[in-house]
Structure 1
Amino acid sequence: MDNSLEGKKILIIGQVWPESRSSAAGKRMLQLLEVFQSWNMDIYFGSTAQKSPYSDDLSIFQLNEIEVYLNDERMDQVLADLQPDWVMYDRFMMEEQFGWRVTAQCPQARTLLDTEDLHFLRYARQELVKKGVGTIDDYLYSDKTKRELASIMRCDLTLLISSVELELLVHQFQLPPDILLVLPFLENELSVEEQDEWLPFEQREGFVFIGNFIHEPNWQTVLRLKTEIWPLLRKRLPQVQLHIYGAYPSAKVLQLHNPKENFFIHGRAEDALAVVGQARVMLAPIAFGAGIKGKFVDGMRVGTPNVTTTVGIEAMATAEEWNGFVADEVEEFIQKAVELYQSESSWLEKQEKGRTLLQRSYSKAKYTAIFKESVLLLDQDIDNHRKRHFLVEVFKHHSAQSTKYMALWIEEKNKHKKSE
C-alpha cells in the first residue's frame, strides 16, 4: 500500500476558528492540523464564525484560509473549484450544514467527522442530572441523538475521543465499528527537560480548577465547588486558596469571586500549563460530561495530581491507575483533597501515575500511526468501503434531500431580504 498522502487536499470546515488557549477542543484541532501537515497534505481551513482576538495563528501549518458560506450557493462554487480529496467536519452540525453540498459537488471526496465528544451523550447526562429522575436511557434517545447518529452514518470515518463512546455507538446503537476510530489527545512524550521544570511539592500552593465556561459541565463543576465542596474543605485547610481559571466567564461566574473565602475567579489563563503547574492539586468534581478531559492531560504534563469523580476519569483510566483520587461523595472528595494536599508521599505516587498514563494512553506517535492507516485505506479503496457500507450512501441520499431543501429555503429567504 502506497503510504503517501503528500499533496492530497483536505478541507476542514470548522465550527469556530481554533482557540487552543481557550479550550481543549481548540487544542485538539491544532493537533489534527499538525498531523495533516506532517503527512504533507495541502490544508484548507474555513469557518462561518468570526475570528476572535484569541484565535490561533494558523499560518504555522502552511495552510490556506478560505471563505465558507452558510446557506449560500457561492459555497457550491468554492467546493467545485477546490475539489478536495478529503473534507473534515468539525462536529456534526458542520456536516449537517455542508455535507449535502460536498456530496453534490465533490462526490469522491472522503469525509471525516471529528466529534470532539458525543454531544448527545453529554446532553443526556446533563438532562439526567438536571431532572434528577430515571436513568441515562430515558434521555439518550433524543432528537439530538438522531441527528448526531445520522451525521456519523453519512461520513466515511468518524473520530471519537473516547473508547466509552465507541462502546456506546457499537453496542447500544449498532453502528458498524469500521466507520469509527478512537483518536484521543495526541501528546508528545514528556521530555526530561519538561520534568526537570516541575515545581516540587513544597513550592506549590493552592488548589486549581480550569475549564472554558462556554462548556456547561465546567460551569456546573465550579458551582459545585463553590456551594458543596469549598465551604467544608476550607474549614479543614483554612489558609489554602482555590483558584478558578477559564475562558469566557459570564457575570454569574464572576459573581462567585470571594477573596475573603479564599475563592478566586481569574477568568482566562494566558498559559494554562503554567497556572496548573503552580498549584499543588487540581479539584474537578465533574457531575456530567462526555469525552476525555483536556484539563487532566494538562495536569499530567506538568505533574499536578487531582481529585475528581467517576465521570471525570471515564475512558481515561481506572481509579487504581489514575493520577489522583476518584470520589463521588462530597465527604470522601474532601477527605481525599486534604490527603493529597498534605501528604507528599501520596502526592508523589499520584504524580508518577500521571507520567505513566500520559506516555501510555496519549502517545502522539502511536495514535498518529493508527490514524494514518485508516486514512490510507479510505484514500485508496473508497469505492469498496462505500459498497461495504451502503447504508452510508442511503443516509446521504435521504438526508441530503431534507437538509438540502431546508438550506435552499433559507437561501431564498435571504435573497428576498437583500432585494427588499
Structure 2
Amino acid sequence: MRRNVIPKITTHPIGKRRHNTTTTITIQKEQEIKKKIDSILFLSPTLWPEPNSSAAGVRTTQLLCHFANTVGVSHVSYGSGANLPSSSSSSRSSNNATKEAAHHTMQHLTSQYNISFLHIPPNNAALIQSSLASSLLPNDDNDNEAKKKNIVIFDRFFAEEAYSFHIRKHHPSTLRVLDMQDMHSLRAARSDLVQSFRHGQQPPPFTHTKTKMTQAFMKEIMTYIPSSSSSSSFSSSKVSLKSQDIFLREMASIHRSDVILVCSPYEKYLLQYVYNVPSFKLVLAPFFTTPVPHMHTTSTSSSSSSSLYDYNARSDFVVLGGYKHPPNVDSIHYLQHEIWPLIRSKLPHVNVHVYGAYSPSTLQKQQRRKRLNQQHHHDDDDGFYIKGYVHNLEEELGKRRVLLAPLRYGAGIKGKIV
C-alpha cells in the first residue's frame, strides 16, 4: 500500500530520479490511488500552524489546504500537544495578537476546508490512542480489501520521535510521512560555527568584539556537512555534541519514515548522495504558492493602492523574522550592532523597521525605555525600531524600499526573501 500511495504525494515536479519506481503513473492509476486515501493527520508535539508568524507556518498551512483540496481525501486534521490558541485575551501585547491571529487562521481552515484541530499531548498514551482511532479510521489487518488508507505527516523530526511508535503499533499500515521543514542538524551545526566565530575561537584577526563575517568563514559555514562524530577538520572540532546528537536523531527519523518532504534542493541532494537515503523516499516540497508579479508603478497617484507600490513614495529599510527562530534572533543582533551603524553612517536619516512575532517582553520594554529617553533627554535616535508583530505585512512592506536579511546561518528555504 505504501509504495502505491507515494506517487500521489509526488505529483509536483521533483527532477529526474535514479529509480523508475515512482517517476511515471497513468491517469487511471492516479485516480485509483486518490480513492484509497481516507484520512490525513498532521502531528506536532509543540506547534500549531501560524502563517502570520513564520514562513514554516505559511508552508504548513499551504500543505493542509493542498491535501484538503485533493480529490479522494476524505478528511484532513492537525493534532498538537500545544494548548489551543484562544481568541480572547485581556492583554494587548503583540504576542497575544499573534495567538489571536493563529486562532482565526484555524477557524478559517475549519470553516473553508473542513480541517479539524485536535489537542494530542505526546506524553498521554491513552489520549493519543483514542485520537488516532477517531482521526485515522481503524484498520482491519485481517482483510486487505477492507484496510483504510491513511497518512500521517510528522511536522519535523521531533514529532516523528514523539508519535511514530504509536502509529506503528496501532495503525501499522498507515503511511508515515516526515515533513522536515529544514534540516535541523545542518542548522544546528552552522549555529555552532557562528557561535565559535562570535566568541573569538577563530584565529586572528577575529575577536569576540568584532563579529563581521568574511567570505572565507561564510564559505566554511555553507559547505560544512554534518556527521555523527567529530573529524580532524577545524570546522568539525567546533560543532557541539548536542548538534551531533540532533544529526543522529534526525537521520534515524528519516530512515523510520516512508516518505520525506524536503524543502531545499541542496538538502535533498545531501540526503540522497551524501547520506544515501533512497531517492524514492525523497520529495522536494518547497512553498506551495503562486508567484506575485512585480509592481513597476512609478507615477504618483492619489489612490492608496497605487501609491503603496510606488517606489518614489517608499522609504527606509525593513527586516522580518520571528523571535522563536534562533537564526532570526542572531541576525537582528548582528544587524543592530555590526551592520546598521555602518549603514547609518552613510545614510544618517534613514531608519530600519524590524517586524517579528513573539518578540521577548524584555526587548519590548527596552525599546519603550529607549524612546522615552529620546523624548525627555533628547538622546540621539539611531533609527533602529523593533516593532514586533504586524497585522498587515503586505502594507508594511509596501512602504519600504529595501528588505534586509542578514542571516549568518540557517537551513531550508528562507521565506522572508521568497
Q: Do the two structures share a fold, i.e. TM-score over 0.5?
A: yes
Counterparts of 1:218 and 1:66 in 2: how far apart (Å)? Answer: 29
Which of 262, 265, 271 is the aligned partner of 1:163?
Answer: 265
Q: For 1:298-347, what per-residue CA distance to the aligned partner results, in whole angstroms no more than 9, with x for missing partners?
A: xxxxxxxxxxxxxxxxxxxxxxxxxxxxxxxxxxxxxxxxxxxxxxxxxx
* Pair 1:263-2:310 in alignment: no
Report what 2:49 is aligned to.
Answer: 18
| Match in the other structure for 1:283 | 404
Query: Does residue 9 in structure 1 map to residue 39 in structure 2?
Result: yes
In the aligned structure 2, how far is the partner of 1:199 from the partner of 1:296? 17
Opposite residue 77 of structure 1, the aligned amino acid is S
Query: 3-state DSSP class of the match of 2:30?
Result: coil
Q: Which moved more, 1:278-287 or 1:58-67?
A: 58-67
CA contact (8 A) 1:159 1:180 kept: yes
Q: 1:49 to 1:194 in 2, by over 3 A?
A: farther
Alpha-carbon distance in 1 for matches of 2:311, 2:295: 18
Distance 1:104 1:95 in 2: 14
Which of residues 335, 351, 372 in structure 2 aligns to 1:225?
335
Contact 1:219 1:253 in 2 (8 A): no
2:211 is equivalent to residue 178 of structure 1? no
Q: CA deviation at 1:67?
A: 3.5
Cα pair distance change 1:193/1:8, threshold 3 Å? farther
When Rg is computed on C-alpha atoms for both structures, the one with the higher figure is: 2
Task: Identify the match of residue 164 of structure 2 among 87, 93, 99.
Answer: 99
Equivalent residue for 1:39, pick from 60, 65, 70: 70
Conservation of the 8 A alpha-carbon contact between 2:259 and 2:281: yes
Query: Out of 174, 194, 211, which is 1:109 matched to?
Result: 174
C-alpha distance in 2 between matches for 1:163 and 1:270:
32
Using the aligned pairs only, state the percent identity: 32
Alignment gaps of 5+ in structure 2: 1-28, 86-99, 138-149, 203-219, 226-235, 298-304, 372-380
Counterpart amino acid of residue 24 in structure 1 = A
Structure 2: distance between partners of 1:35 and 1:190 = 19
> Using the alignment, how far apart are the partners of 1:296 and 1:189 within structure 2?
12
Q: Secondary structure at the match of 1:290?
A: coil
1:198-244 deviation per Cα after TM superposition (whole angstroms, max 9, x unaligned): 61210111100011011111111111111111111111111111100
Name the aligned partner's letter for residue 262 of structure 2: L
1:69 paired to 2:179? no
Give, in whole Å, the separation in 2 of the partners of 1:2 and 1:20: 30
The alignment partner of 1:8 has SS state of strand
2:292 to 190, 193, 203: 190
The answer as to 2:398 corresponding to 1:274 is no
Taking the aligned partners of 1:115 and 1:277, their CA distance within structure 2 comes to: 32
**2:351 is equivalent to residue 249 of structure 1:** no
The equivalent of 1:27 in structure 2 is 58
In structure 2, distance between residues paired with 1:81 and 1:34: 21
Is contact 1:21–1:271 with CA below 8 Å preserved after alignment?
A: no
Structure 1 position 145, deviation (Å): 0.3
Counterpart CA distance in 1 for 2:43 and 2:327 is 25
Change (3 A) 1:82 1:216: closer
| 1:50-91 per-position Cα deviation (integer Å, ceiling 9, x unaligned) | 133232223122112234232223122332444351001111
Residue 240 of structure 1 aligns with an amino acid whose one-letter code is V
Q: CA RMSD in A?
A: 2.3
TM-score (norm 1): 0.66
Q: Cα–Cα, structure 1 residues 265 and 189, in superposed 2: closer, same or farther, change >3 Å?
A: closer
Matches within 5 A, 1:366-385: none
Count, aligned residues: 297
The equivalent residue for 1:131 is 196
- In the alignment, structure 1 segments of 5+ residues that lack a partner are 298-420
Deviation at 1:249, TM superposition (A): 0.8
Q: Which moved more, 1:49-58 or 1:36-45?
A: 49-58
SS in 2 for 1:261: coil
1:32 maps to a residue whose letter is L
Tell me how far 1:252 sits from its aligned partner.
Answer: 5.1
Deviations along 1:376-401, one digit per CA (max 9) or x if unpaired, are xxxxxxxxxxxxxxxxxxxxxxxxxx
Alignment check: 8 A CA contact 1:226 1:256 kept: no
Q: 1:176 to 1:253 in 2, by over 3 A?
A: farther
1:54 equivalent in structure 2: 101
Instruction: Indicate the larger mover: 146-155 or 15-24.
Output: 15-24
Alpha-carbon separation, structure 2, partners of 1:113 and 1:80: 20
d(CA) in 1 for partners of 2:181, 2:48: 15
Distance in structure 2 (CA, Å) of the matches to 1:83 and 1:176? 27
